[in-house]
Amino acid sequence: MTGKRLSDQHLPLTDELAGVVARMSGLLLTHETVETALGLLSALAHETVHGASGAGVSTMVGGRRVSSGSTDDRVRQADALQYELDEGPCLAAFSGREVVRVDDLTRDRRWPRWAEATVPLGFRATLSAPLVAGDTSLGAIKVYADTPGAFDPRSEQLLSLFSAQAAVLVANVQAYDRAKRLSDGLREAVRGRDVVNMAKGVLMGRSNLDEDAAVTVLIRNAQRDGTTVAAAAEAVVESTARRRR
């Protein structure tokens, strides 16, 4: 080692990441789905970290650990083994909020059961970095290599810088996805309410019922058909429309 800083020995990391960040920013503007976003993150990590033969992202969804955007089946299997055995470098990076590097899975004894089960997949080294946005740990991004010693301190620095940007992307995309699902749910609720009101009016006029009796009919129809009140109301409205044709 010379007296140069790590980032001075090669192309500056900020320059290497410039294109990555630009592509990630573009994705934010297009509001892609979470799965698509995480797939792009994995592909970019695979391309960016020298020596990587696969990459993936682990996030927490509804209290469950989920692998998304994995670049191949081996990554998915290696991640699944971590979740199944409840041990491994990616989980350690997520819980400890620090970069975790494994130089040789056949020699590292920190997660023996996971390492033993993962070596047959062909992986010999791995590097994981946490995705942290503000005070929230969102998961971890990791790269795998087929050769031992594939990653070094510069790889750690690169993946750390990359994961910081990735965490912002994941947080924004997840927030957008949650807002969209909430918006869709609200629209469906309003639509359901409108349909129910229309059906009540139809029943009140057609069968000379008061409002409470019309609601009772809708509930009875829903129970009979094993569906929701909104669906039963929609059936009433549709039947009236057919009669008028």
pLDDT digits (tens, 9 = 90+) for 140-169: 999 999 999 999 999 998 899 888 877 887
Q: Is residue 224 part of a domain?
A: yes
Contact by Cβ (8 Å): 56, 75: yes
Q: What is the pLDDT of residues 15-52, one digit of tens each?
A: 555 666 666 666 554 545 677 777 888 888 898 899 99
Q: Is residue 135 part of a domain?
A: yes
Q: What's the burial of 177, exposed, middle or buried (CB within 10 Å: 0-12/13-18/19+)? A: middle
**Domain finish residue from 180, 201, 236:** 180
Q: Is residue 168 part of a domain?
A: yes
Q: What is the pLDDT of residues 208-239, one digit of tens each?
A: 888 888 888 888 888 888 888 888 888 888 87
Cross-strand partners of 102: 126
Q: Binning pLDDT at 50, 70 and 90, where does residue 57 land?
A: very high
Does residue 98 or residue 67 have the better pLDDT? 98
Contact by Cβ (8 Å): 94, 103: no
The answer to whether residue 183 scores a pLDDT higher than 60 is yes
Domain containing 200 equals 183-244
Residue entry with tokens 């033993």: 116
The answer to whether residue 121 scores a pLDDT higher than 80 is yes
Q: Say how many domains are in the chain.
A: 2
**Domain finish residue from 132, 149, 180:** 180
Contact by Cβ (8 Å): 40, 33: no
The answer to whether residue 203 scores a pLDDT higher than 60 is yes
Q: Is residue 229 part of a domain?
A: yes
State the pTM of this model: 0.67
| Residues 176 and 87 reside in one and the same domain | yes
pLDDT score recorded for residue 1 = 37
| Residues 176 and 212 reside in one and the same domain | no
pLDDT score recorded for residue 6 = 39
Q: Is residue 1 part of a domain?
A: no
Q: Is residue 212 part of a domain?
A: yes
Q: Binning pLDDT at 50, 70 and 90, where does residue 13 land?
A: low
Looking at residue 194, which CATH number applies to its domain?
1.10.10.10
| Residues 163 and 229 reside in one and the same domain | no
Q: Is residue 114 part of a domain?
A: yes
Q: What is the pLDDT of residues 64-87, one digit of tens each?
A: 888 888 999 999 999 999 999 999
